[in-house]
Amino acid sequence: MAEGIDSLMYEFGAGKSAIRELFEKSMEFVQQGVTTDIWDFSIGNPTVPAPPEVSEAIEKVLASCSSFELHGYTENNGRLATREAIARDLNKRFGHGSHRYGAGDLMLTAGAAGAISATIAALTLPGESAIVLTPYFPEYRMYIQAWHCHCVEVPTTPKTFQPNINAIEAAIEPTTRMVIINTPNNPTGTIYRPEVLEQLADMLRQKEKDLGRVIYLLSDEPYREIVYDGHVNPWVPDYYEDTVVCYSYSKSLSLPGERAGYVLVPPSLTNHDHAYEALLGSQRAINTIQNSLMQRVLELCAGVAAPIKEYQRKRRIIYRGLSDIGYDVVRPDGAFYLWIRCLEEDERAFSEKAFEHGLLLVPSDDFGCDSYVRLSYCCDDDTLSGSLPAFQKLWDDYGSYLW
């Protein structure tokens, strides 16, 4: 590495993710004037517009707030009124008995990513480890390693993609500080089942006792509201006391670029107040605070419903379309990704073959496992239905599953 450069950060910046590689490939084609249709399913950047309540809220705050109120510094944990609005919404949906949340349990952050960064900075020490469940959102690895912690990959149960409790238990070491879960899941669309979460919680509680240390469950929930077929995503703090929830409105309100998220530190968390203060410290030291205009907007939009019907329609188009051709796809319970078993074992080779037909699908090695590709269906309906002939040709190239 060049002198004066942090090699880890360089690797994060220069190391091409599969998603980025696909993007650049696609851009090159466009620049070279290649006429092949490109069906870009690479990234989770919703084309579904933000709900009308969001633009109404923006107009309202622009009209009613002074420049100082709109654009001035906010409290370091975010405006009180916004945190109160979010707490009210959470209590309405998830509050019961002693499980109620207040503004003092919430910190507004730059998206779920900022929330996760701040949480890992605050609640881990260098040399500790965090467990992720494959397949997993690949950025977790960076968020963990940036704080000099080890990222330990543990496979989920094959086919169901539910957490494998025995495998997680076997991976827990005296240095384990955190397990990161993500339900509904990116990339599989799986919702974790209540009984699996119960087992996970029981096992973690026992491990906390055995090891005499806190083990946090970081629940990354950007897709919490995007669920189908009457499924309900379990409310993780109900299962395990030492849960920290990281949330983003990126997907539920189609605002990924606005970096609007939060950390919830439930009252049940061991050393709640210390943990919250440490989060304030990492917010201050690494600057993960949410911008002020969006804080005003969220005060008005905390309870706005996600456009589930839109995504349900999109899921039907692509799930049925690929199933009918013969593809082995995981039926998503939530989120907006389709996890497709490759027609040959090597996911890179399959992704390249797909690209010859203009299909941009992210190979599963980026998510820590083999022989799948991820399709993001938060795009236009026309792209979804228009791509089906290309998927048919891809299938015809292989003739059937070759492994």
Phi, psi dihedral angles at 341 (to 5 degrees) = -75, 130
Q: How far is the CB of 286 from a copy of itself (least distance, A)?
A: 5
* Alpha carbon distance 240, 220 (integer Å): 14
Give the nearer residue to a copy of itself in terms of CB position, either 115 or 227.
115
Q: How far is the CB of 304 from a copy of itself (least distance, A)?
A: 14
How many C-beta atoms surround the C-beta of residue 159 within 10 A?
9
Give the nearer residue to a copy of itself in terms of CB position, either 307 or 321.
307
* Alpha carbon distance 94, 85 (integer Å): 14
Q: How far is the CB of 291 from a copy of itself (least distance, A)?
A: 5
Tell me the C-alpha to C-alpha distance, in Å, between residue 386 and each of 38, 182, 238, 354, 358: 10, 31, 43, 15, 11
Give the nearer residue to a copy of itself in terms of CB position, either 71 or 320.
71
Q: How far is the CB of 363 from a copy of itself (least distance, A)?
A: 19
Contact 120, 144 (CB under 8 A): yes
Contact 87, 105 (CB under 8 A): yes
Q: How far is the CB of 200 from a copy of itself (least distance, A)?
A: 18
Tell me the C-alpha to C-alpha distance, in Å, between residue 389 and each of 340, 357, 359, 384, 392: 17, 9, 11, 10, 5
Give the nearer residue to a copy of itself in terms of CB position, either 38 or 325.
38
Closest C-alpha among 362, 369, 378, 353 to residue 16: 362
Q: How far is the CB of 121 from a copy of itself (least distance, A)?
A: 6
Chain centre to alpha carbon of residue 165 = 21
Give the nearer residue to a copy of itself in terms of CB position, either 185 or 295.
295
Give the nearer residue to a copy of itself in terms of CB position, either 1 or 32.
1
Give the nearer residue to a copy of itself in terms of CB position, either 72 or 194.
72
Give the nearer residue to a copy of itself in terms of CB position, either 284 or 331.
284
Instruction: State how beta strands 243-248 and 176-181 pair.
Output: unpaired
Q: How far is the CB of 160 from a copy of itself (least distance, A)?
A: 30
Contact 308, 225 (CB under 8 A): yes
Q: How far is the CB of 71 from a copy of itself (least distance, A)?
A: 5
Question: Tokens standing for 204?
Answer: 């973690």
